């Protein structure tokens, strides 16, 4: 398990468990300790753990806005703050996705930029697409990510991007839209600009494949309760809003939903 430890700062927390009940002593992970002094991060948000079976280690992704790209195009207010007629509050954070790897959750590699589409983005979460079909095109990682720009600039939604199964060759990986290799990510699949929860700002995606079907969970973060949403798809293009069928604790927010053996979750309560 990994988690955001503060709204600002350069670290995140990590712990391990053999049974999802008893947890190890938390570790403070400081991936930026060797990062350039003139490019320090303002924040370290929403880490997600992924088992990279190709590299045989855990890939941890998170988003940070570092000093070197603050205001350098692609930031959250996207230049709209310069238009006096719009009266837009300046928001010069330009978030990118970073990566650190570990095998034991005690030793972590230094931070590296993992995904940087030229626009501010946060909350990356990946799922491996291989094994569903006997076709090399599916030997890839698919990543769900939040476009953090203002809605007026096309943001506050979830988009998709994909890269080869080998995330190290080349590095950073060449992430492209699953349906259009000329674009860094897809059109919105949830939130403003999409057909799923278009009236809600969304973030914190979790992407899973269950029974050959994609499931996208997300946080409708402007609601006070029942914030989790769900959409499903067979092809990553056509999505069905299944939020009304989803049951999670009403106060749950911005978490990760993952598959586990039933034997490892003996405290599951069936309604």
Burial label for 175, CB within 10 Å (0-12, 13-18, 19+), is buried
User: What does the buried/exposed string (b/e) look like for 126-155 if buried means 16 or more CB atoms within 10 Å of the residue's CB?
Assistant: bbbbeeeeeeeeeebbbbbbbbbbbeebbb
Tell me which of 69 and 8 has the higher pLDDT: 8
**Side-by-side strand order, sheet with 2-4:** 2-4, 12-14, 27-29
How sure is the predictor about 268, in pLDDT bands with cuts at 50, 70 and 90?
Answer: low
Q: Cα-flanking dihedrals φ and ψ of residue 205, to 5°?
A: -75, 150
Overall CATH class of domain 2-262 = mainly beta
CA distance 195 to 43: 32
Check whether 26 has a pLDDT greater than 90: yes
CA distance 65 to 87: 24
Averaged pLDDT score across all residues of the chain: 93
Percent of the chain topping pLDDT 70: 95
Contact 167, 141 (CB under 8 A): yes
Which segments of the chain are extended strands (E)? 2-4, 12-14, 27-29, 45-52, 57-64, 96-102, 112-115, 121-128, 140-147, 157-164, 203-210, 213-219, 228-233, 240-241
How sure is the predictor about 25, in pLDDT bands with cuts at 50, 70 and 90?
Answer: very high
State both tokens at 130.
């291989």
- Angle 218-223-227 from CA coordinates, rounded to 5°: 35
CA distance 255 to 253: 6
Burial label for 67, CB within 10 Å (0-12, 13-18, 19+), is middle
Tens-digit pLDDT profile for residues 114-139: 999 999 999 999 999 986 555 666 68
The pLDDT score that the predictor gives to residue 70 is 86
How sure is the predictor about 93, in pLDDT bands with cuts at 50, 70 and 90?
Answer: very high
Check whether 15 has a pLDDT greater than 90: yes
């Amino acid at each position: 398990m990994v988690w955001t430890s503060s709204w600002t700062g350069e670290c995140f927390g990590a712990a391990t468990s053999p049974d999802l009940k008893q947890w190890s002593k938390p570790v403070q992970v400081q991936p930026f300790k060797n990062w350039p002094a003139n490019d320090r991060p303002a924040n370290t948000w929403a880490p997600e753990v992924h088992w990279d079976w190709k590299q045989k280690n855990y890939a941890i992704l998170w988003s940070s806005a570092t000093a070197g790209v603050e205001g350098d195009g692609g930031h959250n207010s996207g230049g709209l703050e310069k238009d006096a007629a719009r009266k837009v509050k300046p928001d010069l954070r330009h978030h990118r996705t970073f990566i650190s790897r570990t095998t034991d959750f005690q030793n972590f590699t230094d931070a590296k930029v993992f995904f940087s589409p030229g626009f501010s983005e946060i909350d990356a979460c990946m799922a491996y697409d291989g094994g569903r079909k006997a076709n090399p095109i599916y030997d890839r990682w698919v990543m769900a990510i939040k476009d953090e720009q203002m809605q007026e600039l096309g943001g506050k939604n979830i988009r998709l991007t994909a890269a080869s199964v080998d995330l190290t060759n080349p590095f950073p990986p060449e992430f492209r839209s699953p349906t259009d290799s000329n674009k860094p990510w897809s059109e919105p699949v949830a939130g403003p600009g999409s057909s799923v929860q278009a009236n809600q700002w969304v973030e914190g995606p979790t992407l899973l494949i269950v029974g050959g079907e994609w499931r996208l969970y997300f946080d409708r973060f402007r609601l006070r309760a029942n914030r989790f949403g769900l959409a499903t798809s067979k092809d990553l293009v056509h999505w069905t809003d299944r939020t009304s069928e989803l049951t999670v604790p009403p106060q749950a927010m911005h978490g990760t939903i993952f598959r586990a053996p039933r034997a490892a979750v003996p405290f599951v309560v069936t309604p």
